[in-house]
Amino acid sequence: KGQKPNPLLEARKALPIWPHAQSIRAALKKNNVLVLTGETGSGKSTQVPQFLLSEPWCQKCIAVTQPRRMAAISLARRVAQEMSCPPPGRVPGAKVGYSVRFDNATGPHTRVKFLTEGMLLQEMVRDREMEEYSAIIVDEVHERSVNVDLILGFLKNLLSDLENGRLKKRKNPLKVVVMSATVDVGALVQFFGEGSKESEDTQQTLHSDVSSTLVGTQQNQDISTCYIEGRQYPVQTIYLPEPTQNWVESALIHIFQIHRKEPLPGDILVFLTGREKIEKLEKLVNEYAEGLEDSLPKLLVLPLFSALPQHAQQRIFMPTPHRTRKVILATNVAETSVTVPGVRYVIDCGKSKIKEYRNALGLESLLAKPISKSAADQRKGRAGREAPGKCYRLYTEDGYNGFADRTQPEILRCDLSHALLTMVAAGIGLRDVFSFPFLDPPPRGAIERAVALLHDIGAVTEEAEIANDALTMAKFPLTPALSRVLIEAATPERNCLEDVVDIVSALSTEDIFLNLANEERKKEDAEAARRGFYRRSGDHMTLLAAVQGYLEETSDRKAWCAKHFISHRAMQNVVKVRKQLLELCQRLSLVPNSSSSVDPPTANASPEEHTKRVLQCFARGFMRNIARLMPDGSYQTLVSKQTVAIHPSSVLYGRKTDYLLFTEFVFTNRAWVKGVSAPDVGALE
Ligand code: ADP
């Protein structure tokens, strides 16, 4: 129709993956599984779905999973642009869409759907045969999240059921592409190959072929592999001579040394552990940059972390302005998930936050831990994409040598109750969990612990059978504990679902109270402005009061938020989440239709009684998160007998109460609990 060529076509053609398009198509024509590896930025996530879209076997939708919502959204936008179609949305013309928790931007004609791993798992629970899809692309497999491991296991089962004619509905083939940024494909090839016709020998040969030729597509009867050679210029590594504890300060010094010494162009990418450190360093860099001589180029500081709003994330892709150096302060999302253009200097703090199950506590927490060698090398590689670069490691060479070779898969170190609930809801019997095809099977004890936890919250019965509630719980995009809280709130005895939904919505988004830890001056004003929301019972009812205050404000919510030192963005998210949770409760018949409402509303309960009921719901979901005041003034959890302290962000900080209930746990220098309430003793039953 004489369409103008897409202006991004030239850039696409320049990607390392472009020449492999034909062999990728051929590989999937021949086999159902393709394991594809290639460095970050080689074009895997954006190009592979486009290569496959017009293949004869590809009549339906292509799913591309991402570990992070941020990547799913930004990739969908990019691919829509590249395909000259409308941006992702529910409009009929949108061929490219995304689906992330609480945000579904897909339409009736969506053919390429970027979605988080969690969302794909939820779809698998709804339709085991994945009839909606012609292909499923599992991206960023090297990150080895629990979800990715589950997806791989489900897909392996699905493929073998399909091959053996055990499926009821699905007749068309399902193509699976597994993509990873590291070359270690042996385990994946073996995983999908096991139990098939091929012998181990063939797979061995196949694997060594891949690593010896390093280019091109190798095939055997079942699984194809393809390696995309990335562009990598040499990167010089510079270590610290002595280890440091003050790596934020050290990063600051390095940023300015690079800025003074090194020519433009050459942006700086700094890897930090999380949002807090990023915001701290951002402030410091901006303060110091004010004193730079006019003869020096400007510094443009751009933070990059998952919770950042989309438009702010998009700024990292914009070209650097004239006579300016970009400094991107990132979490490990920039390690492989997002390709930041223009970077020649990397500063690596050598740590990242990882989820870890603390056995002694029986609780999961996020901890800043040393990264692995392979992660450190990925970070370093970011400096050499466009030209030779430098990587400053804020640790010593000995420190590096002490790192583990690879990051341990999450499934070996985290709480499995959510994973288990998903499996159970997808029709896997509790006893069959032990024979589920895991790429790395978790220890038996971890599975047993998860079963016990599910039993606690009523998802598994005394007889180790799956309870009806388990299926309802699995349908919520929430942790099993929070799902339990909602189900409890819907019972006639509690009858407080709407309020509990408000609180759960606030717990499911970023902090609604602006964090003023770095701004001493504003702290007192904020305290005064928010005091009206503070509730004696603790953080949960406080959140409720703030959410309700916001909802009641109808004229200018933005101004209202500013006045109360509340994050407007977070509140907008709360409203969005709340709406979807309420819809879901309706669909799952937890709320009676308003017309047929027979239950009397909670209005006749006294405020104390109401608070008690709400907190009873939380206690039901978080039975293990109850601690008692000890004679020495510390708190000890009832079940695991661990000492915990109330986090300074809690409204109960500094207060004494006989019992406390918490919904979040953070371990830094000590075991802190956040989201704390002091339930009436009666609430503990
Ligand atoms: P891979 O999956 O191999 O890491 P991608 O397909 O994600 O590679 O990225 C290929 C290239 O596309 C990147 O180098 C980048 O230049 C460009 N790109 C990806 N996402 C975006 C985006 N949201 N905005 C602008 N450019 C992007």
pLDDT in tens, 340-376: 889 999 999 999 988 776 655 556 667 788 999 999 9
CA 338 to centroid of ligand 1, rounded, Å: 7
Ligand 1 atom index nearest CA of 385: 14
Ligand 1 atom index nearest CA of 74: 23
CA 134 to centroid of ligand 1, rounded, Å: 24
**Which H or E run includes 390?**
strand 389-393
Alpha-carbon dihedral angle through residues 202, 203, 208, 210, given to the nearest 10 degrees? 110
CA 317 to centroid of ligand 1, rounded, Å: 9
pLDDT for the residue 429: 85
CA 369 to centroid of ligand 1, rounded, Å: 28
- CA dist 493 to 307, 471, 601, 612, Å? 37, 22, 11, 12
Q: Which two tokens stand for residue 341?
A: 């253009």
Ligand 1 atom index nearest CA of 47: 6
CA 346 – CA 380 distance, rounded (Å): 6
Query: Which amino acid residue places its CA nearest to atom 27 of ligand 1?
Result: 78
Sole residue written with tokens 């405020």: 607
CA 68 to centroid of ligand 1, rounded, Å: 15
pLDDT for the residue 467: 86
Query: Which amino acid residue places its CA nearest to atom 13 of ligand 1?
Result: 41
Q: Is the pLDDT of residue 317 over 70?
A: yes
Ligand 1 atom index nearest CA of 38: 3
Query: Which amino acid residue places its CA nearest to atom 6 of ligand 1?
Result: 43
User: Can you name the residues that pair with 115 across neighbouring β-strands?
Assistant: 65, 99
Q: Percent of the chain at pLDDT above 70?
A: 91
pLDDT for the residue 193: 86
pLDDT for the residue 360: 53
Assign 61 to helix, strand or coil.
strand
Query: Which amino acid residue places its CA nearest to atom 26 of ligand 1?
Result: 317
Q: Name every residue whose Cβ is closer than 8 Å to that of residue 377 and which is 6 or more positions away in sequence.
A: none
Measured from CB, residues less than 6 Å from any atom of ligand 1 are 15, 38, 40-47, 74-75, 77-78, 317, 339, 341
- CA dist 509 to 407, 544, 575, Å? 27, 14, 10
Task: Share the mean pLDDT of the chain.
Answer: 87
pLDDT in tens, 94-110: 899 999 988 899 988 99
Ligand 1 atom index nearest CA of 40: 4
Q: Is the pLDDT of residue 309 over 80?
A: no
CA 410 to centroid of ligand 1, rounded, Å: 26
Q: Choose the residue to mutate in 24, 51, 73, 78 for probing ligand 1, maximizing ligand atoms within 8 Å of C-beta.
A: 78
CA 329 to centroid of ligand 1, rounded, Å: 19
- Rounded to 5 degrees, what angle do the CA atoms 147, 150, 151 make? 85
Ordered DSSP codes for 285-305? HHHHHTT--TTSPEEEEEEE-
Q: Choose the residue to mutate in 46, 48, 66, 336 for probing ligand 1, maximizing ligand atoms within 8 Å of C-beta.
A: 46
pLDDT for the residue 318: 86
pLDDT in tens, 585-622: 999 988 765 544 445 555 567 888 899 999 999 999 99
CA 224 – CA 155 distance, rounded (Å): 16
Q: Which two tokens stand for residue 221?
A: 């009867």
Query: Which amino acid residue places its CA nearest to atom 25 of ligand 1?
Result: 317
Query: Which amino acid residue places its CA nearest to atom 7 of ligand 1?
Result: 45
pLDDT in tens, 67-80: 988 889 989 999 99
pLDDT for the residue 359: 55
Query: Which amino acid residue places its CA nearest to atom 14 of ligand 1?
Result: 41
CA 19 to centroid of ligand 1, rounded, Å: 17
CA 71 to centroid of ligand 1, rounded, Å: 10
Q: Of the given ranges (129-133, 315-319, 353-357, 579-583), which has the lowest mean pLDDT?
A: 353-357
Ligand 1 atom index nearest CA of 337: 4
pLDDT for the residue 593: 52
Query: Which amino acid residue places its CA nearest to atom 21 of ligand 1?
Result: 78
CA 339 to centroid of ligand 1, rounded, Å: 6
Using 50, 70 and 90 to split pLDDT, how confident is the model at 332? confident
Residue from 368, 382, 375, 403 nearest 275 by CA: 368
Q: What is the largest distance, in Å, between two alpha-carbon atoms of the chain?
A: 81
Segment 661-685 mean pLDDT: 78
Ligand 1 atom index nearest CA of 228: 3
CA 49 to centroid of ligand 1, rounded, Å: 13
Using 50, 70 and 90 to split pLDDT, how confident is the model at 210? very low
CA 38 to centroid of ligand 1, rounded, Å: 13
Q: Is the pLDDT of residue 5 over 90?
A: no
Please measure the distance between the N-terminal and C-terminal CA atoms of the chain and give it in whole angstroms.
Answer: 71
CA 265 to centroid of ligand 1, rounded, Å: 20
pLDDT in tens, 260-294: 999 999 999 999 998 889 999 999 999 999 989 99
Total-model pTM: 0.85
Contacts 24+ apart (CB under 8 A), 276-284: 276/515, 276/517, 277/248, 277/349, 278/303, 278/304, 278/305, 278/329, 278/330, 278/331, 279/303, 279/518, 280/248, 280/518, 281/248, 281/251, 281/252, 281/329, 282/329, 283/518, 284/248, 284/252
Ligand 1 atom index nearest CA of 17: 3
Q: Name every residue whose Cβ is closer than 8 Å to that of residue 588 and which is 6 or more positions away in sequence.
A: 472, 475
Task: Give the count of beta carbons closer than 10 Å to the beta carbon of residue 153.
Answer: 20
Query: Which amino acid residue places its CA nearest to atom 22 of ligand 1?
Result: 78
CA 333 to centroid of ligand 1, rounded, Å: 13
CA 336 to centroid of ligand 1, rounded, Å: 11
CA 402 – CA 374 distance, rounded (Å): 12
pLDDT for the residue 195: 64
CA 508 – CA 504 distance, rounded (Å): 6
Ordered DSSP codes for 481-521? HHHHHHHHHTSTTT--HHHHHHHHHHHTSS-SBPP-TT-HH
Contacts 24+ apart (CB under 8 A), 282-288: 282/329, 283/518, 284/248, 284/252, 285/252, 285/255, 285/327, 285/329, 288/252, 288/256
Q: Name every residue whose Cβ is closer than 8 Å to that of residue 30 and which is 6 or more positions away in sequence.
A: 219, 224
